[in-house]
Structure 1
Amino acid sequence: MGPPQGWRSVSVAPERLAAWLERFGLRHGTPSVESTADGVVLRSPDGAQARIRTPWPPTGPSDDPLAALVLTTTRPRLVGVLIVRREAHAVGVFDGTRLQDGRHHSHYVQGRTKAGGWSQQRYARRRANQSARAFDAAAADAAAVLVPVAGRLEALATGGDGTAVSAVLGQPALGDLAGLPRLGVFPVPNPNAGVLASFAEVFRRVPIDLNDLA
């Protein structure tokens, strides 16, 4: 769910959330705290509001929602990763910020052609076939890396192109991943070793919606 109309969104690394909360209180005054189904809402005396969201169920002291929120967002979790674009894919398993296992491959997929011309349909068929082979390869790597640990994963973080991700996850070999909570799809470039290794920095960030007074 995105921010309410007229609000803006920022995000912070989980390890910096406690400091962000402290600065918010210093700037705007001690806020009231309301627990919600997906996080907390802060309302300060000067009218500033912040909605902090997390996909995880709360852990920590129920009488201190902010402490519980920090504990919830910073706890290391085993998360599967699937990043797919037509030209490349990457799969991996993260234990907290550490990449425990991963694979990545690139593919040749022909670029789009201009409308018209006698060869347009031939090029379109070739591109579709190349895309299908690329998605099959992504599904094979996901089946090898993610499916064996699916029962231990707390979520599946996805990135790249949403249509491509859906095409891969729709393959029967990945049925064991269907019930996992989804994080993403995060807009990252064509995945390579660097994009995969740093993906935890993307999917672990905590989204915060701010009103115009915050």
Structure 2
Amino acid sequence: MVKARPAAGGGRWVEISPERLKGWLDGFYGRHNGATEDALTLTGASNGDTATLHPSPGLDGVTDIDGLLQGIAKPPRIGLLLVRRGAAAVGVADGTTLETSKVERFYVQGRTAAGGWSQQRYARRRGNQTDAAVDETADIAARILSGHTDLAALVCGGDRAMIDLVLEDPRLERIAALRHPHLLEVPEPRLNVLEDAAVTARKIRIHLVP
């Protein structure tokens, strides 16, 4: 069963693995007594329901359903960058297989209930530790990703603000330009989380209305 979640502005989102997309499309046509296609949007013949497909990262040039089906048959190589305050994971995925990866954990001071000078001192220390984590993540990303000139997209997950800081590193300018707009929701990065992200990143997102 495909799980749906509400979409901002109306409708709902579902995510379909490439292997299941053709069956899902057949099901949409069947449930709506046929459908018309306009670029990447299907409109049901029976009631006007719409399904707008958003291609997997790296297939941004795809403009119609046939092109999408052809594109997912040979998935592009993508980079992965997962960052949270306590850890980061970077990898390169060919399909759902991680070709190379690196996971690093960081120590960041927990929040304190103390006030005044003590609170300011802890805040500065926490800020310094966060800066160090960003710098180290940028080092890892540059080492893992920069040598791959054939990456079709960069998929990020976790803390958007920290990811933004990591990608400000000049060494990652080319990689940052490949960043896909959809941010994955991930727990604190671990190897298994990175492996799951390689699978999730390939899914086709579909906006259904209603």
| TM-score over 0.5 (shorter chain) | yes
Cα deviation 1:176-197 (Å, max 9, x = unaligned)? 3132242532110111110112
Report the 3-state secondary structure (helix = DSSP H, G, I; strand = E; otherwise coil) of the residue aligned with 1:190: coil
Alpha-carbon contact 1:94-1:200 (below 8 Å) kept: yes
Cα deviation 1:29-84 (Å, max 9, x = unaligned)? 1100001xxxx11111222211111152228xxxxx43322222342211011111
Task: Name the structure 2 match of 1:7.
Answer: 11
**1:96-175 equivalences in 2 (<5 Å):** 96-114=95-113, 116-149=115-148, 151-175=149-173
Change in Cα spacing, 1:139 to 1:71, as seen in structure 2 (3 Å) is same
2:37 to 29, 33, 36: 33
Task: Name the structure 2 match of 1:88.
Answer: 87
Root-mean-square deviation over aligned CA pairs: 1.8
Alpha-carbon contact 1:88-1:191 (below 8 Å) kept: yes
Task: Name the structure 1 match of 2:205.
Answer: 207
Structure 1 residue ranges without an equivalent (≥5): 60-64
Cα deviation 1:108-167 (Å, max 9, x = unaligned)? 101223373431100000001111111111111111110111x21111011110001011
Change in Cα spacing, 1:20 to 1:115, as seen in structure 2 (3 Å) is farther
Alpha-carbon contact 1:183-1:203 (below 8 Å) kept: no
Task: Name the structure 2 match of 1:62.
Answer: none
2:25 to 21, 40, 46: 21
2:180 to 160, 179, 182: 182
Identity of aligned residues (%): 40
Count residues with an aligned counterpart. Answer: 201
Task: Name the structure 1 match of 2:42.
Answer: 42
Q: Distance in 2 between matches of 1:83 and 1:93?
A: 12
Alignment-mate amino acid for residue 50 of structure 1: A
Q: Distance in 1 between matches of 2:133 and 2:179?
A: 25
Structure 2 residue ranges without an equivalent (≥5): 1-5
Q: Distance in 1 between matches of 2:15 and 2:209?
A: 14
Q: Please identify runs of 4+ aligned residues in structure 1 that moved more than 6 A.
A: none
Please state how far the C-alpha of 1:202 moved relative to its aligned partner: 1.5
TM-score by length of 1: 0.87
